[in-house]
Structure 1
Amino acid sequence: MSFSKPMGEVVRLPIPNNTAPADDSAPGINAAPDDAEDLRSEGAADVDTSFEVQLDPDADAEGVPVDDGVGYLLDDPEGDAYPVIPHHLRSLAGVGEAIGRHTRRAAHRLAFHAVRAPRYLALAGVWGAVGVWRLIDRQLSWWWVSENDYLRSLAVAQGDSREWYKLHREVKETRRVRGTILAGQAAAVLAGGLLLVKFAPWWGWAAVATVAVPWLAHFGRPQDHPIIAPATTVPRFRLLNHDVVLRAYYSAGLGHAEKMNEQVTFETTMSRTKEGEGSQVKVVLPHGTGFDAVVKAKDKLASGLDVAPSQVYLTHDPSSHRRHTLTVMDRDPLAVPAGKTPLLDCKRRNIWRPAPFGLDEHGRKVALGLLWISILIGAQPRKGKTFSARLLALYAALDPSVRLSVVDGKNSPDWNKFAMVAYHFIRGTVPNRAGDPVRQFIAALAEIKQHIIDTNDFLSTLSVEECPEGKLTEELCRRYPKHLFIWMLVVEEFQNYFELPDQDDNKEIAELLSFILAVGPSSGVVLLSSSQKPSGVGAGDVQRLFNRYRDNHAVRFALRCGNRNVSDAILGGDAYSEGFDASALPVGKPYLGVGYLYGADDHTPTVRTHLADHGDAEKILTAARRMRERAGTLNGYAAGEDTGAPDRDVLGDVLAVFGADPGLHWTELAERLAGQFGDRWADATADAVSAQCRDLGVPSVDVKRGGVTRKGCRKRDAKAATDGTAAG
């Protein structure tokens, strides 16, 4: 007879009455941490780690991932299957790193035990002597048949003489047989000892001692006194099973164990996460209790589980408000830094590919696609907001085809090095020696707005065969680099430009930013905004435009916030009901750069961003400038141009300063331009002039002047480029 269960019915799992033992004898509790972690990180699917104990005998061993990792998460190409060859062993550098790691561990263990070798020998001798005595005592007890004493005493107590005589005869016979065996054993040991004394060399004694002494020492030592101490620490995790989870939910007020209609049940068995870093189970709440209640009780739930709140993750089931997946990490994943940014290799990047951002709570790489979106980053001061925004801007800087505009509303040194590559570089809100930053910002926004309009107009002129969907593509940007390119606008502390003394400036900036936010992403303009004050800014139309600008960002990244209202302003009103409150993120130095990445995908990870400090940023930007110089895309502020002034006729000015000379070095050309056209070329450098001329079709060639050959340009090439531009 067979029984079938209708699809969709919740299976209530049997809950064991007693939890698994928590002593050291529990299987797997004292597994060596280093080997287990290495095997786990190398993709071994069937490795017993220090936490993988059988909590539920009938449980399915295969875990169900909390999310599929689709979108910005960099998945394994094999899908759910573990790779045949781990990713870190697919290169010589990865193999070398693995060999080095194991070599360092082996060297540490060797040094650790070598220092303690005399102590080990002394303990082995002491416990070896105890082992000899215990062995003799056990054999004597075996020979004397001491286990029969109870039966004979029982026969005496019952007055059964026949049974006593029967047992006595059997004991005498057994003692005779066992005594013979022991006598033979003693004779053999004595003969072996005499042979060793008479014939064996010193290494024979050493071989016997090597085998006998460790065995006797192990036999003689107490179970809780190991002779050889471990060279590494042994991790111990919370023992998680269904009973522990039920206790936590009931103590958090999410149900009642005694009331039938208020009991918490489970839809799946307890299992390990796909990454092997935690445990998870799908929980079904009582009728009338929803996911919102679990979110509010998260701290109490963590207390019931005896873990930190940052180890508890709740994933809502879109099919039911009663169901969710509870994931409990073995360690606090947010306290483990994600490490330095991979951009430090200073290699050229492609803006059409996702930018590495950090690691999520499961240790998976998080990469964010920057195109077609706008990004809002918010947090309290000194929580990693600027560093997070700078990571994405550094990625864009390493693509020479990307035009970069940096506007720093707080006028801090954090963005100063971007002056090496930025087309616009604007700091503060108060006029200074560089000019009026407010007017410069308005001019920059107007230029970006015009670029958006020009891009859409240019795309409309292309044929259906060349541009079938009327959208910007990577191929079109390569084909028409002068007309189509990606432009990133970074606005740090953007609220400062909504609170200017001049209300007309506030309104003009607000209207331009709103236009760019609404239309820019589809035209290849990436907007990266950051703020520590995302609400309560402006009044009237300015306030309305500010809120619209803030709320229309497609992707939000919220680090630690002061309160829930600020978190909602950054993440949006729906985030809290989904379990995301940036004001509840942990506080402390280990948690700098930790935040919720909301809106990039259906799943919202808790990201630990990579680190790029000031020195790292300078190194990356120096490489980015060289790339732009070689590609001929260094322009604007970085090239010494006044981006707030009207466009100058580069080729016309160059031809005007040549005079009768057929060719000039770039250095001479820059000096002549600065001397004759100081209003337009006062700060021009040789690199800047070279980049602009090459961008207009003037080749950089060897020019010999005064017996010295250096790079420069020829007058005929400049004139040919001028004629070609006019003809085009």
Structure 2
Amino acid sequence: MTHQQDNPNHDDGNQPDRSEADREHGKDADIVHLDAARAGRQPQKPDTDRSEPDSPAKADGPVLEGAVVRVDQSGPTGADWRTALEAKARNRQPIIPLWLRSRSEAVETFAWVSRHYLHVAGYQVARLPLYGGRLTARAPRGLLRLVGGSIKWTFDLEGEPVRLAAVQKADPEAYLKLSRQRDRRVRLRALAFGAALVTLLIAAILVAKQPTATQWMALAVAIATLGVLGKPADRPLINRAVVPSAVEKLTSDIVIRALTVLGIAGINQAVAKNPKDAIRFVAPITRDGPGWRADIDLPYGVTVADVMDKRDRMASALRRPLGCIWPEGDSTIHEGRLILWVGDKDLSKTVIKSPLLKASSHDVFKGIPFGCDPRGRPIVVPLIEQNILIGSQPGQGKTASVRVLASGAALDPSTELWIHELKGTGDLDPHEQNCHRYVSGIEDEAIAYAADSLALLRKEVMRRAAALKALPPDLCPDKKVTRQIADKRSLGLHPLVAVFDECQNLFAHAEHGDKAGQDAEFIIKLGRALGVILVLATQRPDKDSLPTGISANVTIRFCLRVAGQLENDMILGTSAYKNGIRATVFQPGTDAGIGYLLGATPMPKVVRTAYLDTPATQRIADRAHALRANAGALSGHALGETPEQMAPTYDLLADILAVVPPSEAKVWNETIVHRLAELRPEIYGAWADLEGGAKTAQLTTALKPYGIKTMQVWGTPEGGGKGANRIGVAREDITKAITHRDGGRGASAAS
């Protein structure tokens, strides 16, 4: 009790007793004023007896112990209005609708509207005889209604019940007033009715004197008028040409209801605390293609990936098929921005017709029409300067996707096509007639043929690198293969598209797999800028069947249905699953042909590929063959030539160590090339024949995929001469590259 009396800050007697130790140290404890503590974080005005940390005089000085420091500003700063305006500017609605800004989408919209109204017009015109029969059948009833209504109106029979009511009430004054009013009405209406009868009689006499066609037309008008008057209330005259859709309009209430039943704790807690603003709509819900679009800011801490995990539950909440519900994010704004698109039609039941079916030719520099997104917008996959990886479980449309890309490449006569179908089912056989190299099979001979192709492509990449570098700047200023350069066939820099379907059978092969993986990685890293494009498709995306050096460097990825996160990220890239890009959401079988496309568009998209069956592919291939024959572009396998033999296998790094002894720490590139030519003339002889800087550049290019950088090396020519600084490599870098490549196994050999 004494302690409480001595405490000047004691508020009441309800504070629990402190222990003896607390009382002993109480003299050293600080008493916290709640008002002062709150003032340190609330933007309120300070009391007069407190220090003002916001004042200029004290802003730069030391903060005294016990002083109140505000962490929230009490008023807006000078930049706040700009920040708010910039935030609004990022969310401005476009002046011109999105569908009108895209030429192809605008044409498609106008075409759809035209087809719709042409259908309506044709439907109604075809039923004119039916409508005429209905009008004729209803005309007698209409005549009776017309006559009865005219008599009732003329003699003011609609007022008869009121006058009878006045009689029953014995109200003479009201009855006389109503009678006088009726007499006035009847006189005027009788005159009008008589005038109408005379007019109709005169019109009938005039029509009787007109030609027969006019008489029939007048009769048709009379019957139509009487038929309309005789129409039953429950039986419309004209049938509907288009049955209204039963799809429910998407509203904010429906969206909020759907989000709150997903079982996401962050959403439910936010809605419970603030039902009105927890889920914010940043734009009106509008029609977007064949469906509805809602742009939503999810509650704080909730990401789009959380919602995508519950896509099936959202479909249930919206009472729509799963193939109609396509949530996606917009990470350019923030991770909680959800774009919910609800389609009118199930994407899995939509058949996409490829424009290639009717195309007489195609230009691969403009990309290849691949399919459509859920909103019906066409998706074009760029091919030049790209490499493409396609993966899925068996039977999900992987080979059909490859067919689309191969067909687009075949219709460009400037493109050289190599196809390796390593399943042996002949799915790509229609394009055999257009290929420079072609194989179909799963046996060792077919695998060896595909491995030879990669070795030849590696050699081709090195040849093209030297050829492109030799081009004058005015012809090739950016050192890239362009349409103009590709058309100059003599340069040998035309697009070369190499397809490897079921590539896991190649990369997992005991004899050829390792070397094929190294060659493919080399081609992917360097070939795309030189017009060499790889299209790889696999149904077993793991580290053994798909080397990580390949999966990490492809630029375009298309993943159809896969079983789990590991397979998903092997195709779509590391952390794709974590970021909500999940091909596991697709349903086996029903969603065949639907996948996530990454790298071809600014944002990842769900895409349904155009379907080309074997007969359709055959028609495209025949058209491409005629086109190539006329252009003189057929070569290799298409002309029945013997396949080019692969050069003997070699290991460049091991060969360099063989010709550079440990005593030489650094050696010029040109010196290494000459020694390599002596070691394996059949492989490196062409390198030694190059002149000047091309010889040095050849080795630099060959070492680039291994991460080996060249440097300035001081040395003297082997035959004697003046010392100089020239481009060379360090032997230590070669040994490190071998160790890294072989996982430590090559360390002893390298030393």
Question: Which range, TM-score by smaller chain?
Answer: 0.5 to 0.7
- For 2:633 and 2:87, locate their aligned partners in 1 and report how far apart those are by CA, in whole Å: 62
8 Å CA contact 2:415, 2:497 repeated in 1: yes
- For 1:222 and 1:576, locate their aligned partners in 2 and report how far apart those are by CA, in whole Å: 61
**Counterpart of 2:533?**
526
- How much does 1:144 deviate? 0.6
- How much does 1:617 deviate? 2.4
- How much does 1:487 deviate? 1.3
- For 1:316 and 1:592, locate their aligned partners in 2 and report how far apart those are by CA, in whole Å: 23
User: Cα gap change, 1:63/1:506 in structure 2, threshold over 3 Å: closer, same or farther?
Assistant: same
**Matching of residue 510 in structure 1 with residue 503 in structure 2:** no
- How much does 1:165 deviate? 7.5
Matches within 5 A, 1:595-610: 595-610=595-610
User: Cα gap change, 1:179/1:585 in structure 2, threshold over 3 Å: closer, same or farther?
Assistant: farther
User: Cα gap change, 1:193/1:114 in structure 2, threshold over 3 Å: closer, same or farther?
Assistant: closer
**Counterpart of 1:357?**
370
8 Å CA contact 2:327, 2:340 repeated in 1: yes
- For 1:562 and 1:586, locate their aligned partners in 2 and report how far apart those are by CA, in whole Å: 10
8 Å CA contact 1:196, 1:205 repeated in 2: no
User: Cα gap change, 1:304/1:185 in structure 2, threshold over 3 Å: closer, same or farther?
Assistant: farther
**Counterpart of 1:322?**
336
- Of the candidates 477, 484, 489, which is equivalent to residue 475 of structure 1? 484
- What amino acid maps onto 1:637 in structure 2? H
**Counterpart of 2:618?**
618
**Counterpart of 1:451?**
460
Secondary structure of 1:404's partner?
strand
- For 1:103 and 1:65, locate their aligned partners in 2 and report how far apart those are by CA, in whole Å: 25
State the number of aligned residues: 555
- Of the candidates 230, 248, 273, which is equivalent to residue 238 of structure 1? 248
8 Å CA contact 1:555, 1:600 repeated in 2: yes
- For 2:479 and 2:144, locate their aligned partners in 1 and report how far apart those are by CA, in whole Å: 89
**Counterpart of 1:122?**
137
8 Å CA contact 1:429, 1:437 repeated in 2: yes
- How much does 1:485 deviate? 2.4
8 Å CA contact 1:311, 1:330 repeated in 2: yes
User: Cα gap change, 1:588/1:409 in structure 2, threshold over 3 Å: closer, same or farther?
Assistant: closer
**Counterpart of 2:502?**
493
CA deviations on 1:160-199 (whole Å, 9 max, x unpaired) are: x9xx777656534432332223323443355456657777
**Matching of residue 289 in structure 1 with residue 299 in structure 2:** no
Secondary structure of 1:491's partner?
strand
Matches within 5 A, 1:214-229: 214-229=224-239
- How much does 1:483 deviate? 3.4
**Matching of residue 441 in structure 1 with residue 454 in structure 2:** no
User: Cα gap change, 1:314/1:212 in structure 2, threshold over 3 Å: closer, same or farther?
Assistant: same
8 Å CA contact 2:143, 2:226 repeated in 1: yes
- What amino acid maps onto 1:628 in structure 2? R
8 Å CA contact 2:258, 2:317 repeated in 1: yes
8 Å CA contact 2:352, 2:610 repeated in 1: yes
- How much does 1:300 deviate? 2.7
**Matching of residue 269 in structure 1 with residue 284 in structure 2:** yes
- For 2:454 and 2:395, locate their aligned partners in 1 and report how far apart those are by CA, in whole Å: 28
User: Cα gap change, 1:120/1:495 in structure 2, threshold over 3 Å: closer, same or farther?
Assistant: farther
CA deviations on 1:661-714 (whole Å, 9 max, x unpaired) are: xxxxxxxxxxxxxxxxxxxxxxxxxxxxxxxxxxxxxxxxxxxxxxxxxxxxxx
- How much does 1:636 deviate? 1.6
- For 2:153 and 2:306, locate their aligned partners in 1 and report how far apart those are by CA, in whole Å: 62
8 Å CA contact 1:377, 1:529 repeated in 2: yes
- For 1:285 and 1:142, locate their aligned partners in 2 and report how far apart those are by CA, in whole Å: 66
- For 2:188 and 2:579, locate their aligned partners in 1 and report how far apart those are by CA, in whole Å: 76
User: Cα gap change, 1:377/1:217 in structure 2, threshold over 3 Å: closer, same or farther?
Assistant: same
- For 1:138 and 1:388, locate their aligned partners in 2 and report how far apart those are by CA, in whole Å: 74
8 Å CA contact 1:257, 1:263 repeated in 2: yes
**Counterpart of 1:554?**
555
- How much does 1:355 deviate? 1.5
Secondary structure of 1:514's partner?
helix
8 Å CA contact 1:62, 1:271 repeated in 2: no
User: Cα gap change, 1:476/1:135 in structure 2, threshold over 3 Å: closer, same or farther?
Assistant: same
- What amino acid maps onto 1:252 in structure 2? L
Secondary structure of 2:461's partner?
helix
Q: TM-score, normalised by structure 2?
A: 0.64
- What amino acid maps onto 2:505 in structure 1? N
**Counterpart of 1:688?**
none
User: Cα gap change, 1:124/1:263 in structure 2, threshold over 3 Å: closer, same or farther?
Assistant: farther
**Counterpart of 2:398?**
385
- How much does 1:459 deviate? 2.4
- How much does 1:493 deviate? 0.5
Secondary structure of 2:389's partner?
strand
**Counterpart of 1:260?**
274
User: Cα gap change, 1:279/1:140 in structure 2, threshold over 3 Å: closer, same or farther?
Assistant: farther
CA deviations on 1:646-666 (whole Å, 9 max, x unpaired) are: 79xxxxxxxxxxxxxxxxxxx
**Matching of residue 76 in structure 1 with residue 106 in structure 2:** no
Q: CA RMSD in A?
A: 4.1
CA deviations on 1:586-614 (whole Å, 9 max, x unpaired) are: 5667x553333222122233333333332
**Matching of residue 401 in structure 1 with residue 414 in structure 2:** yes
**Matching of residue 572 in structure 1 with residue 573 in structure 2:** yes
- How much does 1:345 deviate? 3.3
**Counterpart of 1:594?**
594
CA deviations on 1:453-485 (whole Å, 9 max, x unpaired) are: 111122233344444333333333344634322
CA deviations on 1:268-298 (whole Å, 9 max, x unpaired) are: 223333x4x3332321222232222222233
- Of the candidates 188, 196, 212, which is equivalent to residue 181 of structure 1? 188
- For 1:416 and 1:447, locate their aligned partners in 2 and report how far apart those are by CA, in whole Å: 22
User: Cα gap change, 1:7/1:104 in structure 2, threshold over 3 Å: closer, same or farther?
Assistant: closer
User: Cα gap change, 1:197/1:611 in structure 2, threshold over 3 Å: closer, same or farther?
Assistant: closer
**Counterpart of 1:309?**
322
Q: TM-score, normalised by structure 1?
A: 0.66
- For 2:378 and 2:370, locate their aligned partners in 1 and report how far apart those are by CA, in whole Å: 8
**Matching of residue 584 in structure 1 with residue 585 in structure 2:** yes
**Counterpart of 1:707?**
none
- For 2:358 and 2:435, locate their aligned partners in 1 and report how far apart those are by CA, in whole Å: 19
CA deviations on 1:395-421 (whole Å, 9 max, x unpaired) are: 212222222211111011212232212
**Counterpart of 1:633?**
633
8 Å CA contact 1:596, 1:604 repeated in 2: yes
8 Å CA contact 2:136, 2:227 repeated in 1: no
- What amino acid maps onto 2:124 in structure 1? R
- For 1:646 and 1:61, locate their aligned partners in 2 and report how far apart those are by CA, in whole Å: 56
**Counterpart of 1:677?**
none
- How much does 1:133 deviate? 4.5
8 Å CA contact 1:333, 1:362 repeated in 2: no
**Counterpart of 1:332?**
346
Comparing 453-462 and 625-634, the one that deviates more = 625-634
Structure number with greater CO (CA < 8 Å, separation at least 6) is 1
- For 2:512 and 2:283, locate their aligned partners in 1 and report how far apart those are by CA, in whole Å: 59
- How much does 1:101 deviate? 9.1
8 Å CA contact 1:359, 1:609 repeated in 2: yes
8 Å CA contact 2:283, 2:295 repeated in 1: yes
Secondary structure of 2:365's partner?
coil
8 Å CA contact 1:10, 1:267 repeated in 2: no
User: Cα gap change, 1:10/1:138 in structure 2, threshold over 3 Å: closer, same or farther?
Assistant: farther
- For 1:305 and 1:323, locate their aligned partners in 2 and report how far apart those are by CA, in whole Å: 20
- How much does 1:366 deviate? 1.9
User: Cα gap change, 1:330/1:129 in structure 2, threshold over 3 Å: closer, same or farther?
Assistant: farther
- What amino acid maps onto 2:616 in structure 1? D
- For 2:175 and 2:88, locate their aligned partners in 1 and report how far apart those are by CA, in whole Å: 65
8 Å CA contact 2:279, 2:296 repeated in 1: yes
**Counterpart of 1:692?**
none
Q: Which runs of 5+ in 1 are unaligned?
A: 12-58, 70-74, 648-728
Secondary structure of 2:548's partner?
helix
**Counterpart of 2:312?**
299
